[in-house]
Amino acid sequence: MMMNRYVVGCFCSKITLLFHADTTSFSQPYEENEDVLVESVTGKLLWDAKIVGVSKAKDSGKVNGYRVRYDEWSSRFDEWVDPFRVVERVENNIEVQAEMLEDAASLRDGVPPTLDNMVAKKFLRAKDRARGSAPVPNFTEVAKVEPTASTGKKTLGMLKAALLLLEAALPFGAVDTSAKGSWRPSLASEWRSMVRSARGPSSLMRCLVLLESSLSLEWVEPHYSHLLSSLPIGWKAINEATVGSIALRIFVIDQGIQYDEVDR
């Protein structure tokens, strides 16, 4: 029986993927035309590929390399890889692959771990987002405050990042991005600047209410739409804003948005 090549560990309450190649035994080598996953040189990603060639040592007959062709890539990118970089394309490894892609995207966008549970994070790099070609901000930079800042100011910084993350993941159709729409590119850009420069709960709540009023209710699940309607109306929410009330409102909207529904 082949040894498991991958194990899942836990570190700091977060799933950490630890990859271990079984380099001592390849009793069941892969064959040509077999679909596999190939570990990147950095060990941080797994790529879909197909075996197109097998190399064996002349003296022992053991596999010492595989030639792989990456899915959706031209054959000119075929390459020989060491056997330990090739793993089975089975459900568990595919789940690991998805986790690695998500982690890579988080590092690239600088999404703080505090925002890991936001639904928006999963759709940040999805196709057909309402933001169009607008760049994705580095959310860690948005949330950053001076080391001596109060707890309230640190929380406000994190809420700015959360609000920008929510807006960046909105699907096409959820807001009106037409030339005269309420979320046309020029206004959306100005809104993002307002979020970044918000100095207190009231000014940030004003940005949140503006986004909320621009959302099409067709993109908000009925249950959460009802919850939103039970929260204080716009002017009252702004006048009575706290970091807690902002966090609650962002949570309800994030949970209610149907990020996977796109108006084509």
Distance between CA 250 and CA 128 in Å, rounded? 22
Q: What is d(CA 220, CA 249) in angstroms, rounded to the nearest whole number?
A: 13
CA distance 263 to 135: 21
Q: Are 115 and 160 in contact (CB under 8 A)?
A: no
Question: Taking Cα atoms as reference points, which of 231, 263, 259 lies closest to residue 245?
Answer: 231
Angle, CA 101 vertex, CA 51 and CA 26 arms, to 5°: 35
- How distant, in Å, are the alpha carbons of 99, 129, 130, 194, 236 from that of 175? 30, 10, 7, 18, 23
- The pLDDT tens digits along the chain (264 residues) read 333 333 333 222 233 333 333 333 344 689 999 999 999 887 888 999 999 999 999 998 899 999 999 998 999 999 999 999 999 999 999 998 888 877 776 666 788 889 989 999 999 989 999 999 999 999 989 999 888 889 999 999 999 999 999 999 999 999 999 999 999 999 999 999 999 999 999 999 999 999 999 999 999 999 999 999 999 999 999 999 999 999 999 999 999 999 998 875
Q: At CB < 8 A and 24+ separation, what contacts does 220-224 make?
A: 220/253, 220/256, 220/257, 220/258, 221/256, 221/257, 221/258, 223/256, 224/252, 224/253, 224/255, 224/256
User: Rounded to whole angstroms, how far apart are CA atoms 177 and 263?
Assistant: 12
Q: Which value, in Å, is the radius of gyration of the alpha carbons in the chain?
A: 24
pTM, entire model: 0.63
Q: What are the structural domains, with CATH classification, of the chain?
A: 6-100 (2.30.30.140), 110-256 (no CATH)
